[in-house]
Structure 1
Amino acid sequence: MTIEHELTCTHEPDFPVAVVHAAGRLTFATVPMLRNAGQKALTDQPEVLLIDVSALEAVDDITLTAFPMIARNGVETGTDVMLVGPGPALVEQLERLGVARQVPVHAGLAEAIAAHGRLPGPRRVELALPALPAATASARELVDQACTTWRLPHLADTAALIVTELVANAVEHAGTPIRVTVALRDRHLHLAVRDESPLPLERSGEDEEPGRGLLIVEGMASAWGCLHTAGGKVVWATLRREPKR
């Protein structure tokens, strides 16, 4: 068996639940395949990504740190990441490395879905918009409504300004249909703007001064970034629900 066939990762895309089945031997040589599969699954922005590890053997313990990395990328896209179905040996490895404290682990798919369903909601709203200047006003209204519904009035103005700059950037440089997502997480409010352009992110906004729009995002968000997808890209930003102590 060749190295590239020691691990197989199959993706079942769906919304709100996506599943990646990882089967075979996880080694230093095959861990990039797992990371890539997780990244690809996150680009669809499901509410939860379940990684089925029931047929996975971790040959090198340290490779299991790929799971917290995928979970951190999930925070960026507003997606919860959970592991399902580990055997006794894998459970011991996950606990020994502390991975189980960073990524929820469940016995099976049904249990993981039930656990996700018990999380507080509503947790996510979306809006599809055309690449027109008026899209910024619609995106601000979506954010205002979400902050009101989720009782986060203290974040409304900042979130509205951030989403304005993200949408304005997409309208100006991508020129494709846009999807705006606002997601409520345990500690953060997550904003994302998805477009269908393969071009790299351009650093400009509503103003003529190049770079000012995303500099505003950079200065006001707790974190922000860009994920490239098969059909374009997702530019995201997060705001802490409570002030940092």
Structure 2
Amino acid sequence: MGQHFLPDDCAAFPARTQRGDSAEGWIMVMAIPYFCDSSFDSPVDIVSDTDGHALVLGVHGRWSSPFAATLRSNIHKCLAEQPPAILVDLTDLGDPDGRSTGLWLAAHRACGLQQPPVKLAICLPAATMLATRLRRNRGLRVLSVFASMPEARAALACGLPLPYQTQLIVQPEPQSASRARDLAAQACLDWRLEAIREATLTVISELVANSVEHAATHIRITLPRRGKGLYLAMHDKDPRLPKLLPCSPHEPGSPTLARGQGLRVVQAVANAWGARRSRSGKLVWATIRDRSW
């Protein structure tokens, strides 16, 4: 089962500033699914940018070792979605001494080692110690730091390629899963992703069926291409995150897959999957990649 963690060499060789600060035990292994159940007044929140092609990581709070662990966990979750870019808003980060410098440099290295690479942009006031320390570090040559979110968004928009993406809105009805499969099959054909066609159809069918049964709202299905794979996103109006039920024993004569076990199929087939709340409901996502690549 392919899982998308931060690469091991980031753990072995954590980024260091010129003053010798390390990324403080940067890597930890996280099991899928990647659930982000935080509310929007939490210290760290993850949302999709307005165009859906970047994730925005909002940071609110004072720097500390426990807070650093929370940040690492959320950056893991961002990278698992394989976004083209991650925009980190540090406007509300309380770090007067710039102690988090090593973490952001390590995050930048981890983004660059993804396949395909993920662009990382950081937004923070220019007069802060953190901004000063980043300027003094050689990592600034490649790490994008901006004074405002509009500036960062504009720069990212210029640097990102036009996405291959298709979208469909379906109603909470049984035939919606079939319509989603048709959409995914056509995307795999158009983008020459036949190697992941069956896995994609299996996962999208289960995700849509789960949303139809439990959310009972219309579903916006978005399929962007991510390198040699696909990102499947299901957005509905129900804020409750899905639950991965325990495996149930198979009784002779009963269906092979018991009711409520569809997400177990997603768990088995997808490279990574998860869910997070949005301002209008929730987003459930999965990544599918050719395992031979």
The counterpart of 2:286, out of the listed 228, 237, 241, is: 237
Deviation at 1:177, TM superposition (A): 1.0
| Alignment: residue pair count | 213
- Alignment partner for residue 276 of structure 2, among 210, 227, 230? 227
1:155 deviation in Å?
1.0
Q: CA deviation at 1:82?
A: 2.7
Conserved in 1, the CA contact under 8 Å of 2:193 and 2:228? Answer: no
**CA pair 233-14 structure 1, distance change in 2 beyond 3 A:** closer
Check if 1:210 corresponds to 2:251.
Answer: no
Greater RCO (Cα-Cα under 8 Å, separation 6 or more):
2
Three-state SS of the structure 1 residue aligned to 2:199 is helix
In the alignment, the residues of structure 1 paired with residue 67 and residue 288 of structure 2 have an alpha-carbon distance, to the nearest angstrom, of: 31
Q: Based on CA coordinates, which of the two structures has the bigger radius of gyration? A: 2
Distance verdict in 2 for CA 1:131–1:207, change over 3 Å: farther
Aligned ranges 1:94-243 → 2 under 5 Å: 95=139, 105=144, 109=152, 110-116=154-160, 119=161, 121-203=162-244, 209-243=258-292
> Secondary structure of 1:144's partner?
helix
The aligned residue for residue 82 of structure 1 is 120
**Worse-matched range after superposition: 48-57 or 209-218:** 48-57
User: Within 2, Cα distance between the matches of 1:163 and 1:67?
Assistant: 34
Give the TM-score normalised by the residue count of structure 1: 0.65
Structure 2, unmatched stretches of 5+, are: 1-42, 125-130, 246-254
User: Are the equivalent residues in 1 in contact too, given 2:177–2:208 (CA < 8 A)?
Assistant: yes
Name 1:4's counterpart in structure 2: none
CA RMSD of aligned residues (A): 4.5
* Contact in 2 for aligned 1:221/1:238 (Cα 8 Å): yes
Distance 2:242 2:279 in 1: 15
SS of alignment partner, residue 258 of structure 2: coil
Q: Which has the higher strand share?
A: 1
User: How far apart, CA to CA, are the structure 1 residues paired with 2:104 and 2:218?
Assistant: 36
Query: TM-score scaled by structure 2?
Result: 0.56
Mapped partners of 1:128, 1:155: distance in 2:
23
| Counterpart secondary structure, 2:274 | strand
CA contact (8 A) 1:16 1:47 kept: no
CA shift for structure 1 position 201: 1.1
Give the % identical residues. Answer: 26
Check conservation: 1:54, 1:84, Cα contact below 8 A: no
